[in-house]
Structure 1
Amino acid sequence: MKFSASTLRLLSGAGIALLAGAILIAVGFFRHEVYITVDGSEPARHTVWGNTVSGALRSTDVRLSPEDRANPAPGTVLSEGMLIEVATAAPVEIEIGGGRLNLVSAERIPSNLIQEAGLQIFPGDEVWVDGVLVDPQVELVATRFLSLELRQANRVTLHRETGQQVLLGAGPTLAHALEQSGVALYASDVLVPGPTEYIVENLEVDHLPGTLVEIRQGADILHSRTAGSTVGLALASAGISLQGLDYSLPAEHEEIPDDGVIQVMRVSEEVLLEQELVGFMTEFQALTDVPIDTLQVVQAGEYGLQAQRIRVRVENGEEIARIVEDEWLVKEPVPRIEGYGTQITIQTLDTPHGTIEYWRAVEFYATSYSPANSGTPLDAPWYGQVFCGGNMQNGFVGVDLDYVPCGTPLYIPGYGFAVAMDTGAISGAWIDLGYLDKDYVPWHQFVTVYFLTPVPSADSIAWIIPPGNAR
């Protein structure tokens, strides 16, 4: 078959177009943008040629050994923007029960590594990496060498007074196994064998928990445990010491009480020196050269001084005792001496009732009364009678008989002549002027009372008459 020149030119152009299209399809099929991370590094973007993960890795010079691991798998077809994670294998050493197993693996999850080594993890087992307890299900950071320790749990039987408890502990020591099992161990607890004992299978342990005590110091409360049986040992376990006068309830040598409560009493004593004034007495002295009813100070009084040595005891901040150990008189008090006059001079006074002769004149407070207003019941046998004898009449007055004896003749201006014949609820310089009911005159005032001659004997005179008061 023959073709014309124009036909040949048409066929040649079509062939070139088909070839160019095929080349473009091939380029688009083998060329991809992907991200590759090796052993957890930051993902790097690469333009790669190929249609599988293994081809992409070869185009970036990443060579996988048989133990290395790629994700997605090496035969996976590439997609645009795919993330390829590469974990390179590293030597792994697993220590178990004193022996060692070695393998090379790209695995970083401890439980999977242990399974690759043909081992199993059971409840209570522990995985340690470089001396640190790790979660066997958590992926580790990639390293060039990985060392694991599988501590297998052993059966431990804990015997107590309240019964026994079976634990699974990975050790290495008994204390660690108890902590792993959530058993609280206090410094006061007693373990046989001791807490540093290495764990072996079917270990039998006697556990004697310390006694729980409550130690009270005033308002402070401390809870502690002790292995001792006495109060003193319990305090020592809690780091509390009794000093000087301190004591405890119960005492140190006594057994710990059933309720575990111990009271610590912090005691201090202080010796005080205290002084107080001592009052002075007042003495009276007769002065023969001074007129009667005149007082003057012969000697001023002075306070004395008394000293005491006092021991004060304080327990837990509260004073509980104050004891006087000694006392003495530092300075004697000096009495006050008041002199009273005893010099009597007879004098005269003109009055509406004539001239009177008197030996003493004293100001009294005067009131008045009569039988009807004296407060005595009408049917009383003594109604209308006076204390010194006889019936009331004008001129009889009531006084304090300690200072004005019965029968003393008196003169009271505005009242007249009078005789001390009665008494009542009055004292000192108070006079109650007596009247018959029909003659009664009320009095409430101060008045001068004149003591008329003759002068009584000195031993019957009250030389000092105090101010009047109602009793």
Structure 2
Amino acid sequence: MNWCPVEWPTQTPRPTLAGLEAKQSSKKAAKAALIGISVLIVMTLVVLGFALWSEKITIPKMMVEVKGFVNELVTGGIPVHLQVAGKSEVVRTSSRDVKELLKEQGIQLKPEDIVLPALTTKLEKNIYIEVIRVDVKKEYNNRAIPFQAERLANPQMDRGIVKKVKEGKEGLQREIWAVRYENGIEVARNCESKEVIAWPINSMTQYGTLSMVNRGGQDLRFNRAVEMLATGYTYTGKNTASGIPPSSGIAAVDPAVIPLGTRLYVEGYGKAIARDTGGAIKGNRIDLFYESENEALAWGKRNTRVYVLE
């Protein structure tokens, strides 16, 4: 029988230097990690404890902050404030810049939209990002073009007489406006074009410049002529507004139109002087005195021209 030599007890292999160093490094790393976590926990507890003590943070708020901290620690996401078309929210993201965040949130941009800050801006914790929705709409407006009132002197017409010989008519202009809206609110408008559809037609008025007329072979110079509604009246038993008894050639007038004491020439009546007033004599009205009621009735009521003499 052959026997194999066996050592007893069995000898374990001797540890090498490299193995000892690796084991020692692993222990140091584990110890360092444990110390780091312990320090982080202690610091967090100290900060939260101070905040609670100073009443700057409440329990619910503290829980939110702790939850956010843990979420940020685990997922690597950071909170950012995002406002789109005036609506704000806080989102957590691991995106690197603004452009990537908007893509992550499914926010599509139109060429006119404004993003603040720029799309290439790097994200950081609690950064504020705003997306302003911009719309530009067209408005088509019709605007009236006012006409001009033209005046033309007529030396054949009595001074004070005005006659319209042509009516005016407004023109029409079509305008195209670009109206800019930001988040649904109008912020600017710009007129892009104007087109005249119809040109205005100016009115024409003639005014007299003649200051002398000949009546009964006598030249009468006057300051102005007035078209008036004339009536006839006779004795009433009362004196005139001037305090004198009425007589032929006395006229009742509205002092706001013709001052008392003014010398007149009335077509169809002759010369007169403003000495009286009347309750119904207002504006361009005149009442002519006659010696008899029949004469007054014969005159009746008619339109006539009255010259205010110099």
Q: TM-score, normalized by length of structure 2?
A: 0.48
Whichever of the two has the greater Rg, that structure is 1
Q: Which has the higher contact order (CA 8 A, sep 6+)?
A: 2
Q: TM-score, normalized by length of structure 1?
A: 0.33
Higher percent of residues as helix: 2
